[in-house]
Amino acid sequence: MKNDENLGYRVLVTMYLNKICSVVLKINFDNALLLVKEGVEMKIAITGKGGVGKTLTSAMLISIFQKEGHSVLAVDADPDSSLASSLGFHNPNDILPIVNMKGLIGERTGTKPGDARAFFKLNPYVSDIPDEFSVQHNGIKLIAMGGFKEEAGGCFCSENAFLKTLLRHLLTKRDEVVVLDMEPGIEHLSRGTADAVNVLLIVVDAGKSSLETARKIQKFATDIGLKCIKVIGNRVRNEEDKNLITEAVSPIEVLGFIPDSEEVRAADIKGESVMGVDKKVEEEFLKIKESILRQIDRCN
């Protein structure tokens, strides 16, 4: 009888310990999931026709990822840059684009200002650029790359070698969310870097030329091996705009439709940040962010 009681007691203790263990394991597992979620590593490139809403899209996604606790690197890869001002950076015009840092580029590529030498390092050291030469505001790090130089006669200059190396580094070596606000085209991506882009977002509106540009970009992107290409419809006024965009870009998936917003326009005219000025715009971008996170598994 005594042995039976002992056995029953031991079974109860074992069950109790098992329960505690499973709760502890669950807590740890949940924490691990949280860490994975917080440490998301993703490279998002945003392009589309001029004036279509690339910078609005970049700024909204950057700000959403940052607010959710992700580490974010914003890259203004458009020479006509306005990402810093859309993100509310102070004195955005004082930010010196990397391409204008002549001394730095000269030192890293082995050239001097005004030096017409034909030889320079094609793979200069750039690993310190994101941390040492970025500017920070509200927890967001931003690099203004500036534009690639025109290359007459197919020549390749040291500034372009530097920017190309930097772009490759940002896409392949950084372990945070990197959002590239690009020029209307994606010519500066190549077969070597396309692989590292988790998702290319082409922003369009219901206008014929932006849809035409989207098709050209999609063709080029597919040719260089970019696997995950999605569309965002911007300045959408009604169902007709939505249908027009969906049909025109088919079979590319449209991740979301951003409404045409008086508040966004007004903020832009005043040169103010577009963050939080329109709830509907923000809600749609939140949904788009969720679909982007789902793309990591589906496309790559």
Ligand X SMILES: Nc1ncnc2c1ncn2[C@@H]1O[C@H](COP(=O)(O)OP(=O)(O)OP(=O)(O)O)[C@@H](O)[C@H]1O
- Edge-first strand order for the sheet with 42-48 is 135-137, 140-144, 72-76, 177-181, 42-48, 199-204, 229-236, 254-259
**In this complex, which beta carbon is closest to ligand X, that of residue 78 or of residue 159?**
78
| 234 binding partner (options Mg ion, ligand X, none; Cβ < 5 to 8 Å by kind) | ligand X
- The dihedrals phi and psi of 78, each to the nearest 5 degrees, come to -110, 125
The C-alpha atoms of residue 253 and residue 229 are separated, in whole angstroms, by: 8
For 131-143, give one letter per residue: b (16+ CB within 10 A) or e.
Answer: eeebbeeeebbbb
| 75 binding partner (options ligand X, Mg ion, none; Cβ < 5 to 8 Å by kind) | none
Stretch 200-239 residues interacting with ligand X (CB under 6 A): 234-235
Asked whether the beta carbons of 256 and 291 are under 8 A apart, the reply is: yes
Could you say which DSSP state residue 113 is in?
T
**In this complex, which beta carbon is closest to ligand X, that of residue 224 or of residue 277?**
277
Using CB under 5 A, pick the residue from 55, 198, 210, 261 that binds Mg ion: 55
The C-alpha atoms of residue 45 and residue 183 are separated, in whole angstroms, by: 10
Asked whether the beta carbons of 158 and 112 are under 8 A apart, the reply is: no
**In this complex, which beta carbon is closest to Mg ion, that of residue 62 or of residue 105?**
62
Site membership for Mg ion, residue 86 (CB under 5 A):
no
Stretch 168-197 residues interacting with ligand X (CB under 6 A): 184
| 261 binding partner (options ligand X, Mg ion, none; Cβ < 5 to 8 Å by kind) | ligand X
* Least separation in angstroms between CB 243 and Mg ion: 27
**In this complex, which beta carbon is closest to ligand X, that of residue 56 or of residue 249?**
56
| 46 binding partner (options Mg ion, ligand X, none; Cβ < 5 to 8 Å by kind) | none
| 264 binding partner (options ligand X, Mg ion, none; Cβ < 5 to 8 Å by kind) | ligand X
| 235 binding partner (options Mg ion, ligand X, none; Cβ < 5 to 8 Å by kind) | ligand X
The CA distances from residue 144 to 76, 83, 93, 94, 148, in Å, are 5, 9, 11, 11, 12
The C-alpha atoms of residue 232 and residue 242 are separated, in whole angstroms, by: 10
String marking each residue 6-45 x if it binds ligand X according to CB under 6 A:
----------------------------------------
Using CB under 6 A, pick the residue from 264, 275, 288, 292 that binds ligand X: 264
Residue 197: half-sphere exposure toward Cβ, Cα within 13 Å: 30
The C-alpha atoms of residue 210 and residue 101 are separated, in whole angstroms, by: 33
Stretch 51-110 residues interacting with ligand X (CB under 6 A): 51-56, 78, 80, 82
Which part of the chain contacts ligand X (CB under 6 A), choosing from 15-23, 25-33, 113-121, 253-261?
253-261
**In this complex, which beta carbon is closest to ligand X, that of residue 83 or of residue 105?**
83
Site membership for ligand X, residue 261 (CB under 6 A):
yes
Instruction: Note the residues at the interface with Mg ion (CB under 5 A).
Output: 54-55
